[in-house]
Structure 1
Amino acid sequence: MGPWSALWVMLILLKGQTSNTQPGMISVLQSFREDQFQGEWFVVGLAGSTHRKTDSSLLSPFTATFEKNKNGSLKVSYAMTRGHRCITWSYVLIAAAQPGGFSVDNTAAPGKGPEEVQVHDTDYSVFALMLSRRRSGGQSVLTVSLLYWSPHPSSR
């Protein structure tokens, strides 16, 4: 399945979810190779169960950099521009049993509930489709991100 088709399928699935259901975090990956996933990706598509038309500025591409830590976890750093400002944030992903599955380490953000992240599909060289699920204000928040790899001279 191509990246755009996969994004549309996930958007349709999101639209069909109600706020009381807990969709399963599924993946088409049989294995996940963190070493090939590391590097800078561009988030070129973003959709979610709580996004509104006023969130359209989130559709501007921004970067997501994945780096493996010494302890085996995966650090994700994001950077996006809003007007003349650069906004950055990061978190640590802890591998789960399912290939490409992670839990977000929220120990640095007290009060923030658990969050799961799943690399649903990737070819490691052009695209990745990621899902994120967390609870906020009593409702399930599901987000789908389409990532694009732009090769650099020193890339994989």
Structure 2
Amino acid sequence: MSPWCVLLLSLTLPEALQGQDPTPRPHMANFQSEQFQGQWFVLGLASNTYRREDRALLNSFSTTYQLNKKGHFEVSNAMTRGKRCDTWSYVLTPAAQPGHFTVDNKGEEPGTFSEDVQVVESDYTASALLLSVRRAAGQTIVRISLLGRNWNLPLGTLRRFACLVQAQGLTRDNIAFPAAL
């Protein structure tokens, strides 16, 4: 096991699957919002709510992060579903630590929830790993996103994605890779 994975495993516990709040995670001390903004492709997803049979429902999609005047990210997503394009959006409000955000859910979805999003790793030009923890109705949903500026990932990125997935107590059955169009 790589030293990065050992460090990540030692700093996190796979408690999310039991519905407990996860422990603090490593963060990017020098996160650069300006460099992170722009279009990304979602190349891989993992979640404690995914099952093997759900994989066929996930199509490729893009996500765009645009900084607004307040320094919040306006996030827009677009996914093809047959001949139509589904879109959805939300706002990420910066939290105390660099690269940490909360989802602003003002009226977007029914019900009350809180969601924290963290950029775990990014080189800004090729790939990024995001970790999202959503709490709603007594359930904790963990989601890990593998983002790429294009469909080619730098060497080792998939290994780091798999390591983060494992550190959150997820398995291969919880991973989906949308097909490229």
Shorter-chain TM-score above 0.5: yes
Q: Report matched runs for 1:1-156 at 5 Å.
A: 17-57=16-56, 59-109=58-108, 110-150=110-150
Do the aligned partners of residues 18 and 130 (structure 1) sit closer, same or farther apart at CA in structure 2, a change above 3 Å counting? same
Query: How many Å separate the matches in 1 of 2:14 and 2:51?
Result: 13
Q: Which has the higher strand share?
A: 1
Contact residue 14 and residue 49 of structure 1 kept, 8 A? no
Runs of at least 5 residues in structure 2 that lack an aligned partner in the other structure: 152-181
Residue type matched to 1:143 in 2? Answer: R
Contact residue 13 and residue 23 of structure 2 kept, 8 A? no
The percentage of aligned residue pairs carrying the same residue is: 46
TM-score by length of 1: 0.81
Runs of at least 5 residues in structure 1 that lack an aligned partner in the other structure: 152-156
Query: How many Å separate the matches in 2 of 1:96 and 1:119?
Result: 12
Deviation sequence 1:54-91 (CA, Å, 0-9, x none): 32135533101000011211111000111222110000
1:25 is displaced (CA, Å) by 4.6
1:20 is displaced (CA, Å) by 2.8
Which consecutive segments of 4 or more residues in structure 1 shift more than 6 A?
Answer: 13-16
Deviation sequence 1:32-68 (CA, Å, 0-9, x none): 1010001100000001011112321355331010000
Contact residue 49 and residue 143 of structure 1 kept, 8 A? yes
Q: CA RMSD, aligned part only?
A: 2.6
SS of 1:131's partner is strand
Q: Which protein has greater RCO, CA pairs closer than 8 Å, 6+ apart?
A: 2
Query: How many Å separate the matches in 2 of 1:81 and 1:14?
Result: 35
1:119 is displaced (CA, Å) by 0.5
Contact residue 103 and residue 114 of structure 1 kept, 8 A? yes
Corresponding pairs, count: 144
Query: How many Å separate the matches in 2 of 1:61 and 1:53?
Result: 17
1:27 is displaced (CA, Å) by 3.0
Contact residue 74 and residue 89 of structure 2 kept, 8 A? yes
